[in-house]
Structure 1
Amino acid sequence: MNDTIENNKNLSFRFGLNYFLLLAIYGISSPYLQLMVRRLGYSPAAVGIFLGFFELVGITGPIFLAQKADRFGRLKPFLFASGIMAIAGLALLAPFRIPLVTLISLTFLSLGLKTPIPLLDTSLLRAIEKSAELGKKQPNYGLLRGIGSIGFVVVAIIVQSIPGFDASSAGTIAFAQGILILLFLAGLFALPEVGHTQPRNEKIAFSFKWLDSTFMLGLAVIALGRLAMASVGSFFSMYLTEELHWHAVGAMWALSATVEIPFIMLSWKFIQRKSPMLAVAIASGAIVVRLLIYAIFPTPAGAITGQLLHSLCYGLFQPAAIAFVNLKTPPAERATGMAIYMGLGIGLPSFLGSALGGTIVEALGYRWLFASYTLFAIASLVLFWRHREELTGVR
């Protein structure tokens, strides 16, 4: 069946379903991957190194696969392959406490979990453009990403409600995540194929001329903010269980995902009226406040307050960063552009933040980790301010 934009009557539903199922996987992987590796018996420093490696693989792998998808002209085969790689990674991770096997498993898991995001975003952005060309109703990016966040929240709340899930073995957590990946693979059959506008048998020239100084400056501002947030992504769950002795991992991640939903849905209008990079700067300011709260108020109330700021730290940050990359990337190379953003704007800073963070935790503790990482968010604000005219011109 030619399942394209032209004959698809349920475009928003189909994309919404796949965002829901994809982010549902993250409802377990984001809060619990750090705990899974820790349960294998590794120290906090080793956990930081392993998670850093996980992010490092997420830099180059998705970029390579996304460029292949751009050349191939079809995205769905690569989405299916990603799910299969994620399952393979989980199957290797849980049973073995062998560093080499852990690295191999995290390689598959990183490729499997990080490749779908830029591909699905690219597919949706192409669908929006194609719908506009055909004069059809356009899908709402913010709304559909918000639906994805709902998937995250639903799963995080479910696992939090399971007694003892926070203390479960790596195998139990991997099994639950594997079920969600299978559901995502099933949902892909409903996703329409949105290829690029050039015929697939025509060779596409990838010039990368769009990687100009403005793009790199914007990416640097984004990366510094993400570097600061790496302390949360890689160590917040351990901060809750080891520093606060509070087993509310799923609930706290569900709270952060819940408050981000309205901002993801509504931020698009602000970004269009102002500029994507101004929104990124506002979010970076919120990151500074959030990390200081974790450092100064190591209590459940402090953790809750910090999680509420996720509304800005991600709910505003992520759509703004996506909008910036979308504006600066040619349509035929958008999957590559999104993968570069995922790799250099998210993956590299997450790698550096995770690898460095574990050492800081072992030497100084979690509170100093959060306090010191505010410097990266401050650096993001300074870089934006120095080049604000150039960066805010992208709109």
Structure 2
Amino acid sequence: MSTSVRSLEARFFLVYMALFAPFAVLTPYLQQLLHIYGFRHDQIGYILGAVELTAVLAPPVWGLLSDRLGAPRGVLALTILLALPTFLLFTPGLSTSAAILVAFLFGFFCKPSIPLTDGMTFAYFQRLGGDYGHVRIGGTVSFILCCLVFERYVRISDDPTGKRIVITFAVLLVVQALSLLLIPRAPKQSSARPAVASSADVASADAPATLHLFLKPGFIAFIIAGFLARFAMMSYYSFFSRYLNEVYGFKNVGYIWLLGSLCEFPLIFWSRSIMERIGVRNLFVLGLVGTVVRLLGFGCQGGLWTVIAMQPLHMLTFGAFHCSSVTYVSRSFPTRLQGSAQGIYYAVTVGLGSFLGSAVGGVVLERFGYVTMYVSFAAVAAVAVLITLLFVPKLEKPAP
């Protein structure tokens, strides 16, 4: 590996550390903040679902803007800076409807940050070289360190007002925005390709071929499987902290969340080698199977140690699922469409899947309890496994 590639990976490693630091607040603690503000399970599901629903529209819009302007770093900076004031609109005393409106507004600026960063990373690496797993692991390191610091030093779970959650998130958003200064100038197009008149001419000429890429039956099946997997995992992402509080009386939830992230570390770091050995689609299947097993384990309610024993499966339910899915999308589309492609995939799976999973999960939890929610959502993930095995083709070569 050349020195320039190592330097590029080091820069993006730090970018991903800053990218996932705010999510180390949102993922475990936003549900806690909403509980502190007095919302029920189903209301929390609707509010968190509203945040996720914006991923249906926001990533494609911001991704298209990024591709059209040719300024992904500037577009990403704008979304981060606008996410901060909208998050601060979450205040005690909000009605459910008002909180949902705030969630929509916040999500529109917050949710595009990951697909925009992924699209930008793959665009750089396709032209200059680099290993996505080596830089994405920065997000895992950040999540682990943040959870430790939050629980041990910030004592974020001991604050009955939720102010520490709000302040910590605001500070880390500012850090994320500053980290974009580490990203080098956009790489130039290869000289082997002829120059084109304008992006509008390219879009017009390539429109039929581009549409064909998105409408391939195998890719549609992949999108459906990803949607179902994300739907199922929202029973974890939206309610796991409350599950630990209410079923096991465990308050310092960050420690158990970081255990899952710690276990994903080796898989993400060596994801490229693993995919070269077993294939991208097969790693995706392993992620789905891990989701089935993990949610069934939560549904058993065998004790806190059973929950802890399920946490290493995060290496599959997130590590394998995420690395294989973004790689599958990357290899399905040419470099010029990376922002749009990642945005559309993110919209359907993380956006629509997360919204429906969170909303439905909250209703099921409020009416039937944790066992029914986790077991039924495990069944949804099992359907995703079957769809992938039957209809999603192997895809090992990048799109031209």
Superposition TM-score, scaled by structure 2 size: 0.90
Amino acid at match of 1:124: T
| Other-structure match for 1:72 | 69
| Other-structure match for 1:349 | 353
Aligned to 2:319, the other structure's residue is in SS state coil
| Other-structure match for 2:94 | 97
Identical-pair percentage: 24
Amino acid at match of 2:339: A
| Other-structure match for 2:134 | 143
Measured after TM superposition, the shift of residue 101 of structure 1 is 3.5
* Equivalent residues in 2 for 1:283-298, closer than 5 Å: 283-298=287-302
| Other-structure match for 2:213 | 210
Matched, 1:182 2:186: no
| Distance verdict in 2 for CA 1:253–1:112, change over 3 Å | farther
Q: Could you tell me how far apart the structure 2 residues matched to 1:232 and 1:196 are?
A: 42
Aligned to 2:275, the other structure's residue is in SS state helix
| Other-structure match for 2:192 | none
Amino acid at match of 2:219: F
| 8 Å Cα contact 1:34/1:235 also seen in 2 | yes
Please, what is the CA RMSD of the aligned residues? Answer: 2.2
Measured after TM superposition, the shift of residue 294 of structure 1 is 0.8
| Other-structure match for 2:326 | 322
| Distance verdict in 2 for CA 1:77–1:220, change over 3 Å | same
Q: Could you tell me how far apart the structure 2 residues matched to 1:200 and 1:19 are?
A: 34
Aligned to 2:250, the other structure's residue is in SS state coil
| Other-structure match for 1:10 | 7
Amino acid at match of 1:182: V
Residue 153 of structure 1: which of 144, 148, 159 is its match? 144
Q: Could you tell me how far apart the structure 1 residues matched to 2:196 and 2:101 are?
A: 37
| 8 Å Cα contact 2:121/2:132 also seen in 1 | yes
Aligned to 1:173, the other structure's residue is in SS state helix
Measured after TM superposition, the shift of residue 14 of structure 1 is 1.4
| Other-structure match for 1:194 | 186
Measured after TM superposition, the shift of residue 307 of structure 1 is 1.2
Residue 392 of structure 1: which of 353, 378, 394 is its match? 394
| 8 Å Cα contact 2:50/2:107 also seen in 1 | no
Superposition TM-score, scaled by structure 1 size: 0.91
Q: Could you tell me how far apart the structure 2 residues matched to 1:358 and 1:9 are?
A: 44
Q: Could you tell me how far apart the structure 2 residues matched to 1:200 and 1:129 are?
A: 23
Amino acid at match of 1:79: L
| Other-structure match for 1:269 | 273
Measured after TM superposition, the shift of residue 9 of structure 1 is 8.1
Aligned to 1:210, the other structure's residue is in SS state helix
Amino acid at match of 2:375: A
| Other-structure match for 1:248 | 252
Q: Could you tell me how far apart the structure 1 residues matched to 2:46 and 2:301 are?
A: 27
Q: Could you tell me how far apart the structure 2 residues matched to 1:163 and 1:210 are?
A: 47
| Other-structure match for 1:56 | 53
Measured after TM superposition, the shift of residue 86 of structure 1 is 1.6
Where in structure 2 are there 5+ consecutive unaligned residues?
Answer: 190-194
| 8 Å Cα contact 1:275/1:392 also seen in 2 | yes
Measured after TM superposition, the shift of residue 74 of structure 1 is 1.1
| Distance verdict in 2 for CA 1:199–1:96, change over 3 Å | farther
| 8 Å Cα contact 2:5/2:130 also seen in 1 | no
Aligned to 1:92, the other structure's residue is in SS state coil
Measured after TM superposition, the shift of residue 163 of structure 1 is 6.9
Measured after TM superposition, the shift of residue 195 of structure 1 is 6.2
CA displacement, residues 104-134 of structure 1 (integer Å, 9 cap, x when unaligned): 3222321333211111111111111221xxx
| 8 Å Cα contact 2:226/2:384 also seen in 1 | yes
| Other-structure match for 2:231 | 227
Q: Could you tell me how far apart the structure 2 residues matched to 1:365 and 1:167 are?
A: 26
CA displacement, residues 298-327 of structure 1 (integer Å, 9 cap, x when unaligned): 422122111111011111111100111011
Measured after TM superposition, the shift of residue 87 of structure 1 is 0.5
Q: Could you tell me how far apart the structure 2 residues matched to 1:373 and 1:200 are?
A: 50
Residue 87 of structure 1: which of 84, 87, 107 is its match? 84
Greater mean deviation of Cα atoms: 200-209 or 374-383: 200-209
Amino acid at match of 2:306: G
| 8 Å Cα contact 1:95/1:171 also seen in 2 | no
Greater mean deviation of Cα atoms: 120-129 or 165-174: 165-174
Aligned to 1:102, the other structure's residue is in SS state helix
Amino acid at match of 1:303: V
Q: Could you tell me how far apart the structure 1 residues matched to 2:57 and 2:336 are?
A: 20
Matched, 1:32 2:29: yes
Measured after TM superposition, the shift of residue 194 of structure 1 is 2.5
| 8 Å Cα contact 1:75/1:193 also seen in 2 | no
| Other-structure match for 1:135 | none
Matched, 1:301 2:305: yes
| Distance verdict in 2 for CA 1:337–1:315, change over 3 Å | same
Q: Could you tell me how far apart the structure 2 residues matched to 1:367 and 1:94 are?
A: 32
Q: Could you tell me how far apart the structure 1 residues matched to 2:32 and 2:246 are?
A: 11
Matched, 1:258 2:249: no
Where in structure 1 are there 5+ consecutive unaligned residues?
Answer: 1-5, 132-137
Structure 1 consecutive aligned stretches of length 4 or more whose deviation exceeds 4 Å:
6-9, 198-201
